[in-house]
Chain A
């Protein structure tokens, strides 16, 4: 699987947040993942599983108290060894982020046009006139039919969906090779969600952009992501083709998650019927479990599960699963 087409190779990445007292919290713990050029990879996981920390690590936009170990090879260069100046030239031009909440990331005292123009100015030597043209083109590309009107609008004058489009236009302004989208649709309603997903698909198609998209919602990945990596408590527990992960999940956690996802979208109204749920909560990131992190909640746990962490077994040639059900 690993070949020259790899755009991004994450090897044994760990991100630790130093706590005021006691041992540092390992938000991401030993994550390895390869992403090929022009691929759309989804990271599926619940809040607190470390998926946003992973996104932050890729752009080296973590809190100062976070410490990274391992390797993040982007086109062969380890992002963890770059200087601040080198990182600034990578961010926005080679790797760009679509944030979760554009209302928080867009400067409220700048117009939409200048927000997008700012990214171009930081990376490309364009004159004011050319830059304005590019911004208009980008606004059109993200679906604004009348870009002149949006160009001079402030973010508070825009709807949530429009703001997310501005954030996407900012991210794709310099035609980055890799887009990292951190829950880009979680604040939007169902109709807007599908529009954003369609827009991202279109960007990949037109520009060959590689996309790493993070979400807690399996439905978002259906028909969109090529592959999915499932994260639980800081680790990837299962990787595979999107159709396989959603249609035939192998890890007990993914199986439980899919039971919930398919039941809450089943529109047969059965008032006051309890929904299938996973009992318990994810482990506190501060506590270290010797064994599998899903073991306390797992309906199929065995004795070995609490003793050591399962390595990736290959029940099928292209499907690594970290679960003792498939070997040990």
Chain B
């Protein structure tokens, strides 16, 4: 690992999606987060989950952070969504540093930044109906019943769910449908940035493709910006404009998705690419040109 870590380019004209504006939405510099490990009897030791991370995303773009488990990518996501407070560094959301804001001051930003998790169901109250899950953020913001119902209905249609199902319990939905509900819930706040932490992981191949397509459609319709966290480089390459590769708490390589996949430099990137290609290779060797 060289001493000079490449910084994420904030904007590259060739890779902007949609409108072609270069308006910067998020800029993260020097992000650092430590956790302490230990128990009642043992000495507590600090473990750096993120040593230092710098990157930026323009409006409407998708930035993917990829890496093996433990590389710190989820911690970055949790800091950006401010579920965690970073130990150092800046998180500039449209120029305002939210890295150290207290709960009350964060409120307006909570709407602008929404998070979707891997296991949608663990982020939902199991006794709720689909409607209750989707309208929960609006209820917290004391919107009227009428407004809530209307928006929930419209969003259900938009994410590909029938509004007839709105009173069904969340437990009656499949994994893919729950992920659609999670997206609808996130969209109720009209966010600008969606933080997707392994939101496509653990889904069937066909469901994964459906949700990936839904993300592409929603991004175009709402000019959404995505921070996509994944260990699956092959999938990410289909969705992201920019890719940052994380290893041991740092972004070790960053650039346009095409470049990272076709011309990887860092050993961590090469390793991720090799395992993605190994999986692909086994299939293509068998399937050949027959499909």
Contact = CB atoms under 8 A, between A and B. Distances in A.
A191 B268 CA distance: 12
A190 interface: yes
B206 A46 contact: yes
A261 B283 CA distance: 8
Interface string A173-216: 00000000000001101110110000000000000000000001
A191 B283 contact: no
B170 to A, nearest CB: 16
User: For chain A, which range describes its interface: under 10, 10 to 19, 20 to 34, or 35 or more residues?
Assistant: 35 or more
A48 B173 CA distance: 11
Contact of B17 (A160, A223, A263, A272): A272
Contact of A222 (B174, B231, B261, B286): B286
Contact of A265 (B15, B212, B239, B279): B279
Contact of A262 (B69, B202, B275, B287): B287
Nearest to A259: B291
B59 to A, nearest CB: 15
A247 B204 contact: no
B235 to A, nearest CB: 6
B209 A218 contact: no
A251 to B, nearest CB: 14
Interface in A138-163: 159-160
B282 to A, nearest CB: 4
A84 interface: no
B276 A189 contact: no
B209 A258 contact: no
Contacts of A190: 231-232, 275-276, 278-279
B174 A267 contact: no
A217 to B, nearest CB: 6
Interface in A213-257: 216-219, 222-223, 242-243, 246-248, 255-257
Contacts of A223: 282, 285-286
Contacts of B36: none
A258 B262 CA distance: 24
B169 interface: no
Interface stretch (A120-128, A274-282, A303-311): A274-282
B141 interface: no
B257 A265 contact: no
Contacts of B15: 271
Contact of A247 (B68, B234, B287): B287
B202 A264 contact: no
B123 interface: no
B220 to A, nearest CB: 8
A194 B275 contact: yes
B209 A264 contact: yes
B213 interface: yes
A218 B283 contact: yes
Contacts of B257: 269, 271
Interface on chain A toward B: helix, strand, loop, or mixed SS? loop
Contact of B209 (A48, A159, A247, A276): A276
A276 B234 CA distance: 15
Given A189-B231, A217-B205, A247-B288, A267 B280 contact: yes
Given A247-B286, A247-B287, A271 B240 contact: yes
B272 to A, nearest CB: 8
Contacts of A255: 291
A141 B233 CA distance: 31
Nearest to A223: B282
B30 interface: no
Contacts of B278: 190, 194
B132 interface: no
A264 B284 contact: no
Given A216-B204, A257-B206, A266-B280, A191 B216 contact: no
B91 to A, nearest CB: 25
A66 interface: no
B137 to A, nearest CB: 26
Nearest to B211: A277
Contacts of A263: 209
Nearest to A274: B213
Nearest to B215: A272
Contact of B239 (A46, A256, A268, A272): A272
A159 B70 CA distance: 10
B17 A219 contact: no
Contacts of A246: 283, 286-287
Interface in B7-49: 15, 17
11 contacts: A47-B207, A190-B279, A261-B283, A262-B283, A264-B209, A267-B280, A268-B237, A269-B257, A269-B261, A278-B210, A281-B176
The 5 closest A-B pairs by CB, nearest first: A265-B280, A222-B282, A190-B275, A269-B237, A277-B209
Given A265-B284, A275-B212, 13 more contacts: A189-B69, A216-B204, A223-B282, A258-B287, A260-B206, A261-B205, A265-B234, A269-B237, A269-B261, A271-B240, A272-B219, A274-B216, A277-B213
Interface of A: 46-48, 159-160, 186-187, 189-191, 193-194, 216-219, 222-223, 242-243, 246-248, 255-278, 281-282
